Structure 1
Amino acid sequence: MVSTHSRRDFLKISSISLAGAYLAACSVGGGDQGAAEQALRAAFAQPINDLDPHGPSSVDESTLLAGRLIYDTLIRRDGDKLVPHVATSWEQPDPNTWVFALRDDVTFHDGSKLTARDVKASLERVKDAGTAQSALWTSVSTVDAPDDTTLRVTTSEPLGTMPVNLTLMFILPAAKMNDEGFFRKPIGSGPFRVEAFTPSDELRLAAVDYWNGTPKLNRVTLPFIPETSSQITALRTGDLNVLWPIPPDQLRELEGLDEIRLETVPSYAYYFTWFNCGREPFTDPRVRRAMWRAVDVAGTVRNLFGDGAELMTAPIPSTVFGHAPQQPYEHDPDAAKRDLAAAGLGDGFRTSLMWFSDTGPLADALAQAMISDWAKVGVTVEPQNLEKAEWLRRLNAKEFDMDLQINTVTTGDADFTLGRLYDSQADRMGYRNPRLDGILRRAHQDSDRRTRGRLYGQACKIIWDDAVGIFPAALISTYGLRSTVEGFEPVPSNQPDLRGVTLAT
């Protein structure tokens, strides 16, 4: 039976590149002494290849999934709210200063005490790492730990996104985090410790006596199962207890089975097609708008994804803070032809679209549907289905005409995507707009939620109206659970809290 939450219900549950997560579970034990031992097996769509939460994979869903289980953060997300975690409270005595009070009862898995010095070292490490997450911390000037339970962060300019950014900043032991080989079996302070890790193959975790609620499970194993058909088979046979996200075209394999239930939640992941706005003919917004009007976006999303996605109404999903719905681009091939003619391309033109198949569910079919629609208005698009490494190289070098991919608004806040990708200095797709830069900068600096929401609404409109890209589908995460799994809550981030999960005998 499929249980689909409305957006309002979803926001009560939780609010944050679906490009995949899968978890599975196999029964063995319980967190309570004296209870039968419980062990959960879980399969994730993308392999976990790195446990360094500050490194090159710091914003990858697979690394974040593991990080939520192994490490702690100062602040965590609870639905659409930010709540204390290792930090008990925080204040902003002036626009450029944040002060955090920390718990004094948190220990790492090796028994050492977590103090403000560990938080200081962790924040400085991620700031200097030169990775995607480092961009969130560029305005941090100094980090001080005057005592074990006080952290003071000073910035060169106001940083209103400090609290939400800290939901991603995992705390490592300062004395050990730079040791050679540390991340083969890292030490955190989260609800599970690492028993064994083979990159891109399997992560095995054991429960600890956790300060914020000891897990009811004894063990969690996260294997990587490359083939979707093998994932589905493993769930059906009971080799996996939980699997997500189930691709929309695979749901029929699991619907109606008594031993399996399906639960859905709108995610923070969405498809987009960027135009290289610094490369002809996409320097002209009339051409970009024509390309959007040429595609039957609503029909394609409906026919390909069904209940597995919802039609986008902004350049970020409706689940994300800062979303503001925009006027849809109607499918109108005749208007597209007129726009192209007005731009001097009445005879059409040739271009290309790049993507990699594993970017997300039905990526190949989505690419081909758009290419087919563009052909109907005289635009010949060469399909370029690349290996991920080559796709990433070309994306970073802006060596593309159009790019199809999935993105995940990891923090659940518009700044993570709009502020990080569409600022002129970021120069991710050749688009430059000084007015947008100013709006994004003010939203990044302001700590007032209402002001930030209003500013991101303006940013959504500019990006949408300028057709920087086409934004077709926000993905729905479908979780497949064996009937023995209890206490599991689907979340939009694909990074579930497993502390309350049990397996019925």
Structure 2
Amino acid sequence: MDDVGRRQFLTLLGGAVLIAGCAPGGPGSGSGQDSPLSAAFNQAINDLDPHGPSAVDEASLLANRQIYDTLVTRNGTEPAPSLATSWTRPDDKTWVFTLREDVTFHDGSKLTSADVKASLDRLVKSTGPQKPLWAAVDSVEAPDARTVKITTTEPLGAMLVNLTLAFILPAAQMGRSGFFRKPVGSGPFAVESFTPSSQLVLTPVQDYWGGAPTLRGLRLPYIPEASTRMTALQNGEVDVTWIIPPDELQRLRQVSGISVESTPGLNYFLTWFNCGRKPFSDPKVRRALHHALDVKGIVANLYGEAATVMDAPIPSSVFGHAPQQPYAHDPDLAKKELAEAGYADGIRTSMMWFRDTGPLATELAQSFISAWAKVGVVVEPQQIEKAAWIKRLTALDWDIELQVNTVTTADADYTLGRLYTSEANRMGYANKELDAILAQAKSTADQERRKALYGQACEIIWSDAVGVFPASLAATYGVRSTVKNFRPAGNSQPEFRTVSADHA
């Protein structure tokens, strides 16, 4: 453990001891049954506004799923009731939801259709990253306390999938100043304390409508250093952690009292080219950079069993995935294509990423940069802070960028329909044919038709070489044997209501 990681870890641990009121050693280390379970992710929870600028960040969604509820949830790949007991679709542009009667917020107030309407109205009007998902919503009505009616300007086939991200807040409070420092929801856990980018401490809601949590408490600390998290897991200061670096997997499997649990992941690496900036406005250049890479070899060398080489711009576990023909590793062809595009003398460019975007991100970036250098493409590495990366990403102030993305809903519309339209303009790419296909896929309720259309979208994005999509990451968790009923989540957003832990 390096000095910085050790200092950060001890600071977090000390805070947990004070909050839990237990002896030094922290949760999971024999400190008593009143200790909260500690679950450490490698990304920071920056805010608790489920409709705000962090609305699709994995860390924020992890927190939101404990604190708030949605109308609809998922049971495997199928939508299932949550706050809504049932729904109907009277016509292609209308959805009617019937609400549960036994739901209260953490402050004791009763949840009604007015809260749902106010929350959905706020989400529709937001300028955050969820905005494209709700562009087709025309109105939200609450004709009575248990009924919500959503009308769209065109059919919205992804309505139920999107609603799994629409967290409901109390209408009377969500506009209050400082509300999101200690927000009120209707979920299984209530906020006890929150220090942005440090830790979130939650307490169980005993009268939760879905059944009281088993845990005495839940602590979500931010521990970015993988070595620090692995040491904390082994020592018992952390009960559950993820993401696990590939080089730690085999070793962790040999540690007594710890199990490694995996499920197909929804997280994946992508490298976008800024298609609105030369030389990457030329698809021949983008394809040349593909051919310069031995993606299969790079992924196998870095990740082994912890990742799978991708064959589409979305992981194979996502609805709408369609496999494409991999780009052959052919440096000579890459040089030929660069020459045909007018770059026989090579290219000088840059690539940006932030360190904690994913496991071995820097090593992956360096592998790409090294391969591109061999065909005359000199890439300046730019590892920057996340805040600067986000600012430059949204301003299209970059040449090439590397990140980990998550298809949170496991539906192609969340990624393809949200990020790849001309209007979204997330990577300077515009394709009217693709726009039309994505619009059709969004509007149809025929799921087989949606799947076929997203398959066409996968083909266009892949063949136009908008980016390189190297690896889909397995969702792998390290879990102490004292933890029971934990279910790994492919989107890095496990839910803890039914989890129990024996800290005695």
TM-score, normalised to structure 1's length? Answer: 0.92
Q: How does 1:73-472 map to 2 (within 5 A)?
A: 73-208=70-205, 209-472=207-470
Alpha-carbon separation, structure 2, partners of 1:219 and 1:27 = 15
Task: Name the amino acid aligned to 2:176.
Answer: D
Aligned partner of residue 318 in structure 1, secondary structure: coil
- Counterparts of 1:116 and 1:265 in 2: how far apart (Å)? 36
How far is 1:100 from its partner? 0.7
Contact 1:398–1:429 (CA<8 Å) still a contact in 2? yes
- CA deviations 1:256-291 (Å, max 9, x no partner) are 011111111221111111111111121111111110
Q: Distance in 2 between matches of 1:100 and 1:28?
A: 46
Q: Which residue of 1 aligns with 2:15?
A: none
Q: CA deviation at 1:227?
A: 2.3
Q: 1:192: Cα distance to partner?
A: 0.8
Partner Cα distance (2:30, 2:144) in 1? 43
Q: 1:160-183 deviations in whole A, cap 9, x for unaligned? A: 111110000000010111111111
1:394-423 deviations in whole A, cap 9, x for unaligned? Answer: 211111111111111111111111011110
Q: Which amino acid aligns with 2:28?
A: C
Deviations 1:413-472 (A, max 9, x none): 111110111101111111111110000000111111111001000000000011010110
- 2-side partners of 1:390 and 1:226: how far apart? 18
- Measured in 2, the distance between the counterparts of 1:449 and 1:110 equals 40
Residues 27 and 503, structure 1, Cα contact 8 Å, conserved in 2: no
Letter paired with 1:74: L
- Partners of 2:421 and 2:378 in 1: CA distance: 30
Question: Deviation digits for residues 304-332 of structure 1, max 9, x if unmatched?
Answer: 01111100010001111111111111111
1:94 CA drift (Å)? 1.5
Q: Distance in 2 between matches of 1:103 and 1:74?
A: 10
Q: Is the Cα–Cα contact under 8 Å of residues 40 and 223 in structure 2 kept in the other structure?
A: yes
Equivalences, count: 477
Alignment check: 8 A CA contact 1:38 1:502 kept: no
Per the alignment, residue 26 of structure 1 pairs with 28
Residues 265 and 491 in structure 2, CA contact (< 8 A), matched pair in contact too: yes
Q: Is the 8 A contact 2:29 2:237 kept in 1?
A: no
Unpaired runs of 5+ residues, structure 1, are 1-23, 31-35
Task: Measure how far apart 1:202 and its partner are.
Answer: 1.6
- Shifted more, 454-463 versus 190-199: the winner is 190-199
Change (3 A) 1:114 1:27: farther
C-alpha distance in 1 between matches for 2:88 and 2:239:
42
Greater Cα offset, 274-283 or 449-458: 274-283
Q: What value does the CA root-mean-square deviation take over the aligned residues? A: 1.6
In the alignment, is the contact (CA less than 8 A) between 1:207 and 1:214 conserved in 2? Answer: yes
Quote the Cα distance in structure 1 between the aligned partners of 2:344 and 2:473: 35
Structure-2 residue corresponding to 1:18: none
Q: Which residue of 2 aligns with 1:4?
A: none
Distance 1:262 1:151, change over 3 A: same
> Unaligned stretches of 5+ in structure 2?
1-25
SS at match of 2:39: strand
Do the aligned residues in 1 keep the contact of 2:161 with 2:411 (CA within 8 Å)? yes
What is the Cα deviation at residue 252 of structure 1? 4.2
Alpha-carbon distance between aligned partners in 2 of 1:134 and 1:340, rounded to the nearest angstrom: 38
AA aligned to 2:312 is A
Task: State the match for 2:22 in structure 1.
Answer: none
* TM-score, reference length from structure 2: 0.92
Secondary structure, aligned partner of 1:476:
strand
* Contact 1:90–1:100 (Cα < 8 Å) also in 2: yes
CA-to-aligned-CA distance 1:315-367 (integer Å, 9 cap, x gap)? 00111111111111111111111211222222222111111111111111011
The alpha carbon displacement at 1:38 in A equals 6.1
Letter in 2 for 1:44: F
Q: Distance in 2 between matches of 1:482 and 1:170?
A: 30
Q: How far 1:246 sits from its partner (Å)?
A: 1.1
Distance 1:135 1:27, change over 3 A: farther
Does the aligned pair in 2 maintain the 1:292–1:329 contact within 8 Å? yes
Secondary structure (helix, strand or coil) at the match of 1:392 reads helix
CA distance in 2, matches of 1:445, 1:273: 29
Distance in 2 (alpha carbons) for counterparts of 1:38 and 1:487: 18
Pair 25,299 (structure 1): closer, same or farther in 2 beyond 3 Å: farther
Equivalent position amino acid for 2:194 in 1? F
In structure 2, the residue matched to 1:477 is 475
Q: Percent identity?
A: 60
The answer to whether the 8 Å contact 1:25/1:42 transfers is no
Q: Distance in 2 between matches of 1:133 and 1:165?
A: 9
